[in-house]
Amino acid sequence: MQEIVLVIHLILTISLVILVLIQRSTGGALGIGGGGGGMMSGRSAATLLTRITTFLAVGFFMTSLGLAVIARQETADKSVFDVKTPVVEQPVPTKDNAKDSEKDIKDKPEPVIPDSE
């Protein structure tokens, strides 16, 4: 189910981007584009493109919400804090344990640093 909605979502996204790029710029807010004689000219073409863009945008938002709902259902009762493996607690160090660890440290040789010459 998620794959189907995701494919529809991608198709809507690509179609929406292409449709927005096809539309004629009427503003000039950034000072680019908006020249005369675009690919489609006339008021009826602009209205049709605007309506199609609106329907694609609504479809985009619907598939976005659908994907969010599907993702939520898959992780319904799971939490990061749900741990199935038991937690192993470390024993409290005592004097005997401390002496054993000191012996282990003393038995290890010191690292040798090579000369850089």
Boundaries of every domain in the chain: 2-22+42-74
Count Cβ atoms within 10 A of the Cβ of residue 72 and give its class: 0-12 exposed, 13-18 middle, 19 or more buried.
exposed
Task: Give the residue, 64 or 114, on which the prediction is more confident.
Answer: 64
CA dihedral 36, 42, 46, 47 (to 10 degrees): 160
Residue 110: exposure state from Cβ atoms within 10 A (0-12, 13-18, ≥19): exposed
The residue-averaged pLDDT of 56-84 equals 84
Q: Tell whether the model's pLDDT for residue 55 goes beyond 90.
A: yes
The pTM assigned to this predicted structure is 0.52
pLDDT of residue 23: 83
Residues in CB range of 27: below 8 A, 6 or more apart: 34
pLDDT tens-digit series, residues 17-53: 999 998 877 665 555 555 555 555 555 666 888 899 9
Tokens 């976005």 found at: 64
